[in-house]
Structure 1
Amino acid sequence: MIAIYPGSFDPITLGHLDIIKRGGNLFDRVIVAVLRNPNKNPLFTMEERMLQIQEATAHLDNVEVDTFTGLTVTYAHLKQAKVLIRGLRAVSDFELELQMAHTNKTLANDIETVFLSTSNEYSFLSSSVVREIARFGGAIDHLVTPEVAIALRQKFQDFKAS
């Protein structure tokens, strides 16, 4: 069975990777689908984010990385996926995620949403938290892969230089 793990992944964190690995243990194939969201102004380009995810998941044989625009359920149908994977960090995530799952069910009754709770060690972690810490020069090596940490430091160094 094919599952889609959609998100902006700006940047991908160890929490995301935890969900990807665990999803890979549950499903035959997991497509990490990076959403092109015109309402967001990402720190990293689409190409940079996709490369970061590809590097971070290269050791996972049943994981692929792709990008999409539009409705997640439309993309899921295109990829013949039957499941959407969503990570839950805290109760605060649940309300929005449940609303999204119900909405998706009204759009595509044949696609299920599976919630995976993040491991305790990553329950506080989000891309926005990582960006904020990196922006002010804080330690991020325990939150992202080494490649992403380097890219974040470079990105914020470039901002300071300009």
Structure 2
Amino acid sequence: MSTQRICLFPGTFDPITLGHVDIIERSLDLFDKFIIGIGHNAKKTPLFSPEDRLQWISDLFKDNPKVETILYEGLTIDCCKKVGANFILRGIRYVSDFEYEKSIADMNKSIEPSIETFFLTCSPEFSSVASTLIRDVYVNGGDVRKYLPEPVIKSLYPFEGSLK
């Protein structure tokens, strides 16, 4: 009996960037179902509402029946159990990301040994794209369209559109 490969890709996605999209698109074929989980992180104060972030991601992947987007609070490992995910995917840009993410993966593994965490490095052109930097540039009047997918651009720049 084969088990369905269900993956949770957790994050705050504040906002979702082309770096996130790169990780998602490159990993879709690895899983039968792909759940993008917008988590509430008590250590972060988001700029954009959970509803906006959910809408952007839902719009981005509306044509892919394999992708689902959810909001969740609490431990990511508990969210996995709730949605039946047996894999967690995390994107890695730098060595420092790996060190931080590995400590979380180790804790998750100790809590629930049946759930595996996978790390996928981002494509080189996205290694400097971080939501934190995007937010900082945006709130200070900078143009961040080249780092964002179309649904986010349309929302943040309704009268200017994309750079295309």
TM-score (norm 1): 0.89
**Kept after mapping to 2: 8 A contact 1:4/1:83:** yes
Q: Which residue matches 2:161?
A: none
- Of 144, 148, 151 in structure 2, the residue corresponding to residue 147 of structure 1 is 151
Q: Deviations over 1:100-142 (max 9, x none)?
A: 1101001100000000000111011110111112122222121
In structure 1, what is the equivalent of residue 162 of structure 2? none
Kindly tell me the number of residue pairs found equivalent between the two proteins: 154
133-142 or 17-26, larger mean C-alpha shift: 133-142
| Structure 2 CA distance for aligned equivalents of residues 37 and 59 of structure 1 | 29
**In the TM superposition, what is the alpha-carbon distance from 1:42 to its structure 2 partner?**
0.8
Structure 1 residue 143, shift from structure 2 partner = 0.3
Q: Please name the residue that 2:57 is paired with.
A: 53
Given candidates 5, 8, 12, the residue that maps to 1:4 is: 8
Higher helix fraction (1 or 2): 1
Structure 1 CA distance for aligned equivalents of residues 62 and 26 of structure 2? 15
Measure the CA separation in 1 of the matches of 2:151 and 2:57: 10
Distance 1:42 1:153 in 2: 19
1:99 aligns with 103
Per-residue deviation, residues 81-118 of structure 1 (Å, max 9, x unmatched): 11000000111101101101101001100000000000
* C-alpha distance in 2 between matches for 1:53 and 1:99: 27
1:19 Cα deviation after fit: 1.1
> Any gaps of 5 or more consecutive residues in structure 1?
155-162
Q: Which runs of 5+ in 2 are unaligned?
A: 159-164
Q: Is 2:91 the counterpart of 1:78? A: no
> Quick one: which of 115, 120, 131 aligns to 1:116?
120
Q: 1:27 aligns with which of 21, 31, 49?
A: 31
Question: Pairwise CA RMSD of aligned residues?
Answer: 1.4
Q: Is the 8 A contact 1:31 1:66 kept in 2?
A: yes
* Residue type at the aligned position of 2:137: I
Q: TM-score, normalised by structure 2?
A: 0.88
Following TM superposition, the consecutive aligned residue runs of length 4 or more in structure 1 with deviations greater than 4 angstroms are none
How far does residue 145 in structure 1 lie from its aligned partner after superposition? 1.6
How far 1:40 sits from its partner (Å)? 2.3
